[in-house]
């Protein structure tokens, strides 16, 4: 035995999956599959404008109709899923790595380092996240990569706060007092007692932030600073179609429903993972 | 085994005895096929007291809830169950029928008054609400009755007190308010579920005395649910002892609590008696290894520029290898703060501690790690002292890893430590929540012992445990001390337990040590301090039949 994370402590004992979780996993798998197979299944080029068929309702030619510029909504939806997922997952992942990493470093160097480093995080958090992302994109240039980095930096503080709150919640526990009596320092407490307790909170935070990244990207697209000047994303589709909501409601409904399904299934899956990591779940009632 | 509790069951040709106030027959409560309460029958006659005694998980609280029709959803009640009030039968889920009785015929007092009182309402308004529910429409009458009730539960200055919020009252006063609320509808039966378990010993005695006086004055029937034999002995005419959902023994209190027939009851009674034995006095061999002088501990002020709160005033004590000092005090007396300061978990504000040759002073160097390890602490709540995400084996590996014991040696040492505290090797693979309270506390003791401590500080280590488990843990600590010869500081609020395990007893009150005496001299005849006298006098004595 060493003092790394014990496998039993991860508590990944399977105990059956609820229908809700299964449905969420299925929905997410479907979205990912559609995004991967998009070039094969998209019937039209998502950028092709058919000026003779503007604002067409769903029908046999255009399965989900066309938008105000005569572009096929279904094709845009599945092609757009790719950039949307990259920005969503990428943004959340970068935020996770930056926030949790910065937070843990801040926590491991004692009280003063913690106060100083978290002051920086507070500063980042003080700016509205869209404004911050805008500033960063202006500095980094447009495109999917800069958007992912900008969203990652804008949302990193959330993960740092989760790490800090968990640390302070745990550090008043008797088992941390006992660890101090065994001669353990701050680093030891972080590694043995904080790390396993942190996983659940971070996963939940990631599941919340992923859809937020998708939505924020759409705001950036709306402002013309999104991941792609012309390639579609779901957010951009919502922004484009919102002006024509009265004549072609289907053009906005399709991406909105897609975002809702993605968000819901991610939250449900995040919750299921958090519960799976909780060793006390048997006592707190099933999933 | 279904034992009738009331002795005056109507015989066929005898003059018709009055129907019992409440009778419960063959109560079976199951959850998912598992029987939590299994065939319990009880009877309570008007003006009598029945105590239902049981340890955690015995089903005693579920039984009480069933008697108010308050069982939570998701529990199955067997169809053969019969509950009758005044001879009139009621279905266990007959909400309308029960609502008519609750508060007026039957009222309940719960364990934790702070959780039952609405924190946003003045206590007077809460009693007022109970009176309105009981059907008193006139506002002036309600106000007058509120004052009467508060006076009846012997609270000083009822008018002022009625305007206070629950958090402004002490635990004992809160419980009195709860009793006043329960009495609002002039019930005939008062069900009290562990009414004194959350309270200090001296307050507990006052509440028990109050309940006895209320019963005499109002002719109340009382049903006391408790794990504490002394509470049961002080109040009950009849007792029923529950174990694993069944009544294992029932009868007059004077009979059952003195000459128990059932082996489980005998074990419970024996555990309590065990603590009355006077332990052999151990000689003071000298060689002080911990010495505190003028030790003060402050808590930082709540407000900016506020004065800090001094929790411990100029405490002095010394610990000797192989001997135990008992630190006795009620909640808020500063005893746990003193223990934490000795262990180096809390900075000193004044004074000094000499620990294993190293001197700790305020603002000075903290204890070096190797010495810190030799002074170990066992905490009150074993559940909080074990990380819920680590198995017992991992928890025990923690001190070994920090001491630099090579990984291949750890397993053997953990197995040895588990055996030493009476646990099996298989417990190492379990998570804390998969063990019982007593097993968890054993695991904590095993973990502390792996550091080879020369000083062991036990902070209320038995207060979260059932009676029979308490005695086992006390036995274990004493045996380990004999084998290993560490010095021990035993912090507690239970006079019998502290006296049993300690050689010397210190009594703390409001941050000061007010009494120090040999453990066998801790009785009314020897102690001088008035507070200690009061504490000793608050022990519960069996009810005169």
For range A6-28, the mean pLDDT: 68
Distance from chain centroid for Cα B203: 12
B381 touches chain A (CB under 8 A): yes
Kindly state whether residues B294 and B163 are assigned to the same domain. Answer: no
pLDDT tens for each residue of B511-521: 999 999 888 88
How does residue B88 score in pLDDT terms, banded at 50, 70 and 90? confident
How does residue B14 score in pLDDT terms, banded at 50, 70 and 90? very low
Burial of A219 (0-12, 13-18, 19+ CB in 10 A): middle
Strand B504-509 with B324-328, pairing: parallel
Which DSSP helix (H) or strand (E) runs through A157?
A: helix A144-171
Predicted local confidence at residue B4, as pLDDT: 44
Predicted local confidence at residue B279, as pLDDT: 66
pLDDT cut 90: percent of chain B above it: 35
Beta-ladder partners of B295: B315
Q: Which of B135, B164, B186 is the last residue of a domain?
A: B186
**Position with higher pLDDT, B114 vs B5:** B114
Judged by DSSP in three states, B512 sits in: strand
Predicted local confidence at residue A15, as pLDDT: 54
* Secondary structure string (H, E, C) spanning B368-394: CHHHHHHEEEECCCCCCCCCCCCCHHH
Predicted local confidence at residue B280, as pLDDT: 66
User: Among the listed ranges A91-95, B254-258, B274-278, B445-449, which one has the minimum average pLDDT value?
Assistant: B274-278
Render A79-102 in DSSP notation, one character per residue: HHHHHHHHHHHHHHHHHHHHHHHH
- Name the residue among B413, B450, B317 with its Cα closest to residue A181: B450
* Chain A residue with minimum CA distance to B382: A174
* Chain B residue with minimum CA distance to A175: B385
Cβ contacts of A196 on chain B, cutoff 8 Å? 387, 389-390
> How far apart are the CA of B396 and the nearest CA of chain A, in angstroms?
11
How does residue B480 score in pLDDT terms, banded at 50, 70 and 90? very high
Per the CB < 8 A criterion, the answer to whether B222 and B170 are in contact is no
A128 touches chain B (CB under 8 A): no
**Position with higher pLDDT, B286 vs A208:** A208
Render B58-84 in DSSP notation, one character per residue: SSHHHHHHHTTT-PPTT-EE-TT-EEE
Judged by DSSP in three states, B370 sits in: helix
Find where tokens 């939250």 sit: A267
Contact between chains at B389 and A177 (C-beta distance less than 8 A): no
Strand B290-299 with B375-378, pairing: unpaired
**Position with higher pLDDT, B1 vs B434:** B434
Kindly state whether residues B294 and B177 are assigned to the same domain. Answer: no
Kindly state whether residues B326 and B438 are assigned to the same domain. Answer: yes
Predicted local confidence at residue A14, as pLDDT: 46
Predicted local confidence at residue A280, as pLDDT: 60
- In our burial notation (b when 16+ CB lie closer than 10 A, e otherwise), range A72-106 reads bbbbbbbbbbbbbbbbbbbbbbbbbebbbebbbeb
Q: Is residue B68 part of a domain?
A: no
Kindly state whether residues B521 and B378 are assigned to the same domain. Answer: yes
Sign of CA dihedral B57, B61, B66, B67: positive
Predicted local confidence at residue B192, as pLDDT: 92
B372 touches chain A (CB under 8 A): yes
pLDDT tens for each residue of B137-166: 888 999 999 999 999 998 888 888 889 998
> How far apart are the CA of B368 and the nearest CA of chain A, in angstroms?
9
Q: DSSP secondary-structure letter at B17?
A: P
* Chain A residue with minimum CA distance to B410: A1
Q: Which of B186, B208, B228 is the last residue of a domain?
A: B186
Those residues with Cβ within 8 angstroms of residue A118's Cβ, 6 or more apart along the chain or in another chain: A106, A160, A164
Q: Which of B168, B186, B204 is the last residue of a domain?
A: B186
Predicted local confidence at residue B544, as pLDDT: 57
Other CB atoms within 10 A of residue B137 CB: 8
- Which spans in B422-494 are helix H? 437-449, 467-484
Which DSSP helix (H) or strand (E) runs through B45?
A: none
How does residue A10 score in pLDDT terms, banded at 50, 70 and 90? very low
Residues in chain A: 287
* Chain B residue with minimum CA distance to A278: B389
Whole-complex ipTM: 0.75
Q: Rounded distance, CA B223 to CA B22, Å?
A: 10
Q: Is residue B428 part of a domain?
A: yes
Contact between chains at B407 and A2 (C-beta distance less than 8 A): yes
The widest CA-to-CA distance across chain B, in whole angstroms, is 85
Predicted local confidence at residue B494, as pLDDT: 86
Render B153-189 in DSSP notation, one character per residue: TT-SSHHHHHTS-GGGS-HHHHHHHHHHHHTTT--SE
User: Among the listed ranges A170-184, A262-276, B472-486, which one has the minimum average pLDDT value?
Assistant: A262-276
The tally of domains found in chain B comes to 2
Predicted local confidence at residue A93, as pLDDT: 93
* pLDDT greater than 80 at residue A7: no
pLDDT tens for each residue of B282-301: 766 678 889 999 999 988 87
Those residues with Cβ within 8 angstroms of residue B61's Cβ, 6 or more apart along the chain or in another chain: B193, B194, B225
Domain that holds residue B490: 290-299+308-537
Predicted local confidence at residue B8, as pLDDT: 42
> How far apart are the CA of B318 and the nearest CA of chain A, in angstroms?
20
For range A192-197, the mean pLDDT: 84
Predicted local confidence at residue A12, as pLDDT: 40
For all residues of chain B together, what is the average pLDDT?
A: 86
> Count of A–B CB contacts within 8 Å?
94
For range B450-475, the mean pLDDT: 89
pLDDT tens for each residue of A125-164: 898 888 888 888 888 887 888 889 999 999 999 999 999 9
Predicted local confidence at residue A1, as pLDDT: 37
Q: Rounded distance, CA A48 to CA B530, Å?
A: 95
Q: DSSP secondary-structure letter at A29?
A: H
pLDDT tens for each residue of B381-398: 888 899 988 899 999 999
For range B411-428, the mean pLDDT: 91
Contact between chains at A182 and B403 (C-beta distance less than 8 A): yes
Predicted local confidence at residue A19, as pLDDT: 87
Predicted local confidence at residue A119, as pLDDT: 93
Superfamily the domain A27-37+63-276 falls into: MetI-like (1.10.3720.10)
Predicted local confidence at residue B82, as pLDDT: 87
* pLDDT greater than 90 at residue B488: yes
Predicted local confidence at residue B443, as pLDDT: 94
Predicted local confidence at residue B225, as pLDDT: 92
Contact between chains at A1 and B393 (C-beta distance less than 8 A): yes
A175 touches chain B (CB under 8 A): yes
Q: Rounded distance, CA A56 to CA A251, Å?
A: 9
Distance from chain centroid for Cα B329: 14
pLDDT cut 70: percent of chain B above it: 95
Q: Is residue B102 part of a domain?
A: no
Pull the structure tokens for residue B415.
């197995």
* pLDDT greater than 90 at residue B111: no
**Which range, A29-33, A200-204, B64-68, has the best average confidence (pLDDT)?**
A29-33
CB < 8 Å from A in window 429-488 of B:
429, 431, 433, 444, 447-448, 451
Burial of B541 (0-12, 13-18, 19+ CB in 10 A): exposed
pTM for this prediction? 0.78
Q: DSSP secondary-structure letter at B306?
A: P
Per the CB < 8 A criterion, the answer to whether B329 and B493 are in contact is yes
Per the CB < 8 A criterion, the answer to whether A95 and A159 are in contact is yes
Those residues with Cβ within 8 angstroms of residue B147's Cβ, 6 or more apart along the chain or in another chain: B158, B159, B162
Mutate to test the interface with B, among A10, A110, A175, A284 (most CBs of B within 10 A): A175
> How far apart are the CA of B451 and the nearest CA of chain A, in angstroms?
7
Q: Rounded distance, CA B22 to CA B24, Å?
A: 7
User: Among the listed ranges A56-65, A83-92, B83-92, B322-331, which one has the minimum average pLDDT value?
Assistant: A56-65
Q: Rounded distance, CA A241 to CA B219, Å?
A: 78
Predicted local confidence at residue A287, as pLDDT: 33
- Which spans in B450-542 are helix H? 467-484, 495-501, 530-537
Predicted local confidence at residue B104, as pLDDT: 86
Contact between chains at B391 and A6 (C-beta distance less than 8 A): yes
Predicted local confidence at residue A281, as pLDDT: 55
Kindly state whether residues B376 and B492 are assigned to the same domain. Answer: yes
């Amino acid at each position: 035995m060493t003092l790394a994370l014990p496998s039993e402590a991860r508590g990944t004992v399977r105990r059956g999956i609820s229908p809700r979780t299964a449905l969420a996993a299925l929905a997410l798998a479907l979205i990912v599959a559609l995004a991967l197979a998009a070039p094969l299944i998209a019937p039209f080029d998502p950028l092709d404008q058919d000026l003779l068929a503007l604002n067409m309702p769903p029908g046999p030619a255009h399965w989900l109709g066309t938008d105000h510029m005569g572009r096929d909504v279904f094709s845009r939806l599945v092609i757009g899923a790719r950039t949307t997922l990259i920005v969503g997952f990428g943004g959340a992942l970068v935020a996770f790595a930056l926030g949790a990493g910065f937070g843990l470093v801040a926590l491991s160097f004692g009280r003063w380092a913690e106060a100083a480093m978290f002051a920086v995080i507070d500063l980042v958090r003080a700016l509205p996240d869209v404004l911050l992302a805008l500033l960063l994109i202006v500095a980094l240039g447009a495109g999917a990569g800069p958007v992912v980095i900008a969203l990652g930096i804008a949302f990193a503080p959330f993960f740092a706060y989760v790490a800090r709150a968990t640390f302070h919640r745990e550090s008043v526990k008797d088992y941390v007092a006992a660890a101090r009596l065994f001669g353990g320092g701050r680093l030891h407490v972080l590694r043995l007692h904080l790390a396993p307790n942190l996983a659940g909170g971070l996963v939940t935070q990631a599941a919340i932030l992923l859809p937020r990244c998708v939505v924020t990207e759409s705001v950036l697209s709306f402002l013309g600073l999104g991941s792609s000047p012309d390639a579609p994303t779901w957010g951009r589709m919502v922004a484009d179609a919102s002006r024509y909501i009265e004549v072609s409601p289907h053009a906005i409904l399709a991406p909105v429903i897609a975002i809702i399904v993605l968000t819901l299934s991610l939250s449900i899956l995040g919750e299921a993972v958090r519960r799976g990591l909780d060793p006390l779940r048997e006592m707190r009632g099933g999933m | 085994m279904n034992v009738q509790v009331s002795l005056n069951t109507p015989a066929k040709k005898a003059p018709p005895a009055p129907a019992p106030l409440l009778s419960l027959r063959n109560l079976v409560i199951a959850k998912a096929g598992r029987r939590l309460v299994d065939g319990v029958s009880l009877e309570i006659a008007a003006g009598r007291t029945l105590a239902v005694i049981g340890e955690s998980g015995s089903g005693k609280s579920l039984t009480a809830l069933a008697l108010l029709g308050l069982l939570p959803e998701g529990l199955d009640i067997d169809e053969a169950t019969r509950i009758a009030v005044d001879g009139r039968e009621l279905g266990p889920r007959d909400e309308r029928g029960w609502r008519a009785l609750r508060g007026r015929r039957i009222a309940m007092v719960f364990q934790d008054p702070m959780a039952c009182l609405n924190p946003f309402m003045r206590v007077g308004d809460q009693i007022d609400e109970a009176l309105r529910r009981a059907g008193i429409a006139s506002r002036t009458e309600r106000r007058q009755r509120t004052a009467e009730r508060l006076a009846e539960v012997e609270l000083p200055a009822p008018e002022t007190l009625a305007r206070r919020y629950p958090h402004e009252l002490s635990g004992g006063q809160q419980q009195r308010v709860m009793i006043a609320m329960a009495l609002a509808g002039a019930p005939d039966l008062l069900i009290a579920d562990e009414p004194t378990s959350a309270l200090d010993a001296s307050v507990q005695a006052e509440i028990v005395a109050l309940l006895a006086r209320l019963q005499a004055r109002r002719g109340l029937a009382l049903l006391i649910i408790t794990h504490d034999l002394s509470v049961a002995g002080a109040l009950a005419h009849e007792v029923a002892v529950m174990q694993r959902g069944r009544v294992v023994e029932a009868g007059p209190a004077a009979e059952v609590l003195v000459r128990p027939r059932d082996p489980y009851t005998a074990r419970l009674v024996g555990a309590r008696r065990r603590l009355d034995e006077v332990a052999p006095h151990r000689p003071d061999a000298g060689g002080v290894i911990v010495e505190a002088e003028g030790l003060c501990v402050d808590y930082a002020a709540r407000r900016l520029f506020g004065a800090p709160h001094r929790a411990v005033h100029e405490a002095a004590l010394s610990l000797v290898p192989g001997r135990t000092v008992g630190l006795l005090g009620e909640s808020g007396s500063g005893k746990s703060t003193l223990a934490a300061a000795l262990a180096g978990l809390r900075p000193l504000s004044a004074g000094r501690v000499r620990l294993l040759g190293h001197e700790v002073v305020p603002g000075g160097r903290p204890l070096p790690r190797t010495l810190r390890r030799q002074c170990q602490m066992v905490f009150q709540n074993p559940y909080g002292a074990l990380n819920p995400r680590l198995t017992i084996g991992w928890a025990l590996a923690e001190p070994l890893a920090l001491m630099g014991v090579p990984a291949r040696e750890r397993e053997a040492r953990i197995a040895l430590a588990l055996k030493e505290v009476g646990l099996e090797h298989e417990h190492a693979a379990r998570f804390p929540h998969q063990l019982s309270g007593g097993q968890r506390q054993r695991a904590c003791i095993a973990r502390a012992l792996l550091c080879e401590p020369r000083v062991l500080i036990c902070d209320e280590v038995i207060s979260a445990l059932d009676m029979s488990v308490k005695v086992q843990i006390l036995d274990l600590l004493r045996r380990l001390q004999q084998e290993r010869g560490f010095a021990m500081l035993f912090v507690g609020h239970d006079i019998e337990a502290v006296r049993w395990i300690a050689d010397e007893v210190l009594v703390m009150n409001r941050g000061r040590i007010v009494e120090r005496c040999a453990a066998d001299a801790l009785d009314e005849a020897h102690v001088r301090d008035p507070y200690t006298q009061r504490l000793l006098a608050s022990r519960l004595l069996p009810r005169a039949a």
